[in-house]
Homo-oligomer: A and B are copies of this chain.
Amino acid sequence: MRQKESAGKGKITEEMKQVARNEGVSEEQIRRGIANGEIVITKNKNHEIQRVCGIGKGLSTKINSNIGSSPVHMNIGEEIEKLIVSEKFGADTVMDLSIGHILDKVRKEVIRESRIPVGTVPIYQVGYEISKKRKNIEDMKIDDILDVIQRQAEEGVDFMTVHCGVTQTSLERMEKEKRLLNIVSRGGSMLVVWMKKNRKENPMFEHYDKILAIAREYDVTLSLGDGFRPGSVCDSSDRGQFQELLLLGELAQRAWEKGVQVMIEGPGHIPLNEIQMNVQMQKSVCHNAPFYVLGPVVTDIAPGYDHITSAIGGTLAAYFGADFLCYVTPSEHLKLPSIEDVKEGVIATKIAAHAADLAKGNQQAWERDRKMGLARKNLDWEKQIKLSLDPEKSRTYRKLSESYDRDFCSMCGEYCAIKQLNQVL
């Protein structure tokens, strides 16, 4: 039985038990959350997952790492290395966004090697295969799309981004806005080109029920993509973006009616003062479906540092209720991320998730900070290193200090406040 169906019938699955244990909450809380759509467990019935992941209301904030080849950069070993680094530094899920002729091989290898749930964006493969046949995106048929979704679902993909809310209605709203940057979503742009050239409705919207049928068959969680997410802070929170969000809320309800688990994807480039409103809007119109945000990136001017711009936005989004943060790496807007970029992206996003969990009062999060504070009080450097998010970097920095073998650090030397105070207080 599928997670949602089981939850609806009052049955607690093995995966629900694992999530409850990991989170330190009751099994009933997880079951109820899945039944009413507020929690998802991203797990394909064909995929064995060691670290089962629950995403949604009342759970710790989860983070996703995007990996995958590009037509101009293809190396399976490198993508597997990115998967390993992602898992090591705390990614809860990984999305394989590969294009290029090795894409099937990469995905199969990622699904086999991963200990965490794997997501994809099937339309990338559809678009790539069409171009291989020397056809254009407007030649795409619904069966091309369903066929890829079916193949990927069979292979064990746990969650899939589908841009079903990119409709003529959303497009009309967006065009009337006269945006600075129209569309920056790769999948969204493919569909809009198709819709413009064919003068027809988005086939993924028209045939949504068929997509739901496949998702239900394999228990794939659908992640309803935001094709109209703003690509500049100048375009944020506009009518095009929210028109799509309203439709995503309707599509979420239709998924639930068919026993399919669903998340909603969110922006994007959003200035800090609009983040709370964006999260509350999503929660309201999507009836508390889990919110999966990319960033948000809070300024456009820091390419090379977008792991930081998005950690800022992500912390605030998660604090206000976003459940799942998609990482952004330092290479965003510039190139495909390297292994080092992946590490930087995962750690920055982990910081955002953890800082939000602290702010929301998550007890497991507080316990970790309390231990670090105690290690600092005791000037116990080994423990500080072990408790840190990146023990290797902490150790390297500590070793670079001229006081490595002393009980203080090279910032203050003997003038260490903690050391001084421990003597008189």
Residues of A within 8 A of B (CB): 70-73, 99, 124, 127-128, 131, 137, 175, 180-186, 188-190, 192-193, 196-197, 231-235, 271-273, 298-305, 307-309, 311-312, 315-316, 319, 330-336, 338, 347-348, 351-352, 354-356, 358-360, 366, 368-370, 372-374, 376-377, 384-385, 387-390, 393-394, 397-398, 400-403, 409-418, 420-421, 423-425
A79 to chain B, nearest CB (A): 14
A173 → chain B closest CB, angstroms: 14
Q: Can you list 25 residue pairs at the A/B interface with Cβ under 8 Å? A: A70-B410, A72-B413, A127-B415, A182-B425, A184-B418, A232-B373, A234-B366, A235-B373, A273-B360, A298-B315, A298-B359, A300-B372, A301-B368, A302-B390, A303-B384, A305-B348, A312-B352, A331-B397, A333-B384, A333-B409, A334-B397, A335-B409, A336-B401, A336-B410, A336-B411
Q: Are B394 and A334 in touch, CB under 8 angstroms?
A: yes
Contacts of A384 in B (CB 8 A): 303, 333
Main DSSP-derived SS at the A contact region: helix
Asked whether A413 and B71 contact (CB < 8 A) given A181-B376, A193-B423, A424-B193, the answer is: yes
Q: How far is the CA of A80 from the CA of B82 in the complex (A)?
A: 39
Contact A415 B99 (CB under 8 A): yes
Please name 10 further chain A to chain B contacts, defined as beta carbons within 8 Å, in addition to the given A272-B359, A311-B312, A333-B384, sorted by A numbering: A72-B410, A183-B418, A183-B421, A193-B423, A271-B355, A299-B369, A305-B393, A307-B308, A308-B348, A336-B411
Tell me which residues across on chain B come within 8 A of A192, comparing CB atoms: 421, 424-425
Copies, count:
2
Return chain B residues, CB-CB under 8 Å to A421: 182-183, 189, 192-193
Is B397 within 8 A of A196, CB to CB? no
Closest Cβ of chain B: how far from A307's Cβ, in Å?
8
Bound CA span A312–B137, Å: 41
